[in-house]
Structure 1
């Protein structure tokens, strides 16, 4: 009896020969313990060595294997083929990012947005790297811990309708990262200059899809709405700080 298989419709884009991405179909084994990433690895190893995609840890930690699976931004290492029944399963690069090749997208813009929110501890009169220790209580840690769980997988960007339409939008992960440091008792910055902008928190229309697709339950939508309140108070009462 032939082994059971499932069809994967994979977006292919080879800039030297393709004007735009096209779907190419492959039959891969359908095994109960195989994730979508295993299916892609099978294609790469046994069917078509030219297929390009990113992956690293295979444990939902590095965030590098994010792709659109049947139109939903997912970590392919934690998305199992068995979830899709008899298939087929459509696999495409994350929306909103320039495609370099096949399923690999250009993340330079995303990294620039992360850097712009100064994602480090800012201390008055001190320059990184900081060497002093600053103790925190469990409550002070809990204030920002949720936002520190982000793995920069960019699924929230692909799900965000604002970012897909406006690449200048700072985006969910960068704003959540800014809040992670704003809420850290050791930090002395407020990042008002990069967050209180139309391209930042005020550009968010609060659809909430960024939170829905986050594999680490960071809730970037909440981070954005919380800073809207902070920014509004800061604008009316400048002395209120962060």
Structure 2
């Protein structure tokens, strides 16, 4: 019977071809190849950390949690957007080789590390927080907002977004229109608009129903194809378009949820 320790026994070597470029001092990008010993359990993040510790301390890349929860480590692996913390080397190695480069559609800081400033600016532009007219209740709550399981299910899948940038990197519209909000921001706009606790329909529509908003999406679905959490931002954008058209006819996605009295759920003692 195979033990868990067998997963970490070396089984061979793999050559990793890495994109190397420092815009501040390099005239042009280049490539550098590293050969390392791997096991069946070695992830690409494990491999890069070993390269940085043992071979090339100048190698730059983004990572944080190592558990596919933060989205920091997304990059191009053999031409496809992936989270390297959950991708095992031997699963993607072709002929004993792997090619790594930074995400498409992002400015490069250095090597595999990208600049996410514009990406996060667009995310903030759609106001990704609960908006209410009753500001006093929002800031000094007296109870929870009422929401049914069915209402929660309308937006639940979009709450899994990691903001890893994979969808943005894969989007052909982002590649040709740098002002386009992108699939991540637009799908998150839909997520908050259909949340029954929210009352920010008009404020968000002013942002997404624009020259560089949701109508620039041509439904290529490449964003959904590469999403590591299966959020399906392409679906969110199409639902957002439908919501906008209905709003122009006077329909609203919901009435703002009422506040449940705080005494509900309290356990009587004595």
TM range, smaller chain = over 0.9
For residue 71 of structure 1, the aligned residue among 67, 79, 88 is: 79
In the alignment, the residues of structure 2 paired with residue 108 and residue 10 of structure 1 have an alpha-carbon distance, to the nearest angstrom, of 24
Structure 2: gaps of 5 or more residues: 1-9, 254-270
SS of the counterpart of 1:30? strand
Cα distance, 1:129 vs structure 2: 6.2
1:219 aligns with 2:232: yes
In the alignment, the residues of structure 2 paired with residue 126 and residue 90 of structure 1 have an alpha-carbon distance, to the nearest angstrom, of 51
Encode CA deviations 1:176-198: one digit per residue, 9 max, x unaligned. 11111111101001111111123
With normalisation by structure 1, the TM-score equals 0.94
1:94 aligns with 2:103: yes
Q: Counterpart of 2:179?
A: 168
Q: Counterpart of 1:107?
A: 116
SS of the counterpart of 2:135? coil
How big is the alpha-carbon RMSD for the aligned residues of Structure 1 and Structure 2? 1.7
Q: Counterpart of 1:201?
A: 214
> Could you tell which deviates more after superposition, 16-25 or 33-42?
16-25
In the alignment, the residues of structure 2 paired with residue 28 and residue 228 of structure 1 have an alpha-carbon distance, to the nearest angstrom, of 48
Cα distance, 1:128 vs structure 2: 9.4
1:30 aligns with 2:30: no
In the alignment, the residues of structure 2 paired with residue 216 and residue 11 of structure 1 have an alpha-carbon distance, to the nearest angstrom, of 26
Q: Which one has a bigger Cα radius of gyration?
A: 2
In the alignment, the residues of structure 1 paired with residue 68 and residue 44 of structure 2 have an alpha-carbon distance, to the nearest angstrom, of 13
Aligned residues: 239
Q: Counterpart of 1:58?
A: 66
In the alignment, the residues of structure 2 paired with residue 16 and residue 199 of structure 1 have an alpha-carbon distance, to the nearest angstrom, of 31
> Could you tell which deviates more after superposition, 96-105 or 20-29?
20-29
1:41 aligns with 2:87: no
Map 1:141-156; keep pairs closer than 5 Å. Answer: 141-156=152-167
Encode CA deviations 1:78-126: one digit per residue, 9 max, x unaligned. 1111112433111000000110111111111011001100111100141
SS of the counterpart of 2:219? coil
Structure 1: gaps of 5 or more residues: none
Q: Counterpart of 2:199?
A: 188
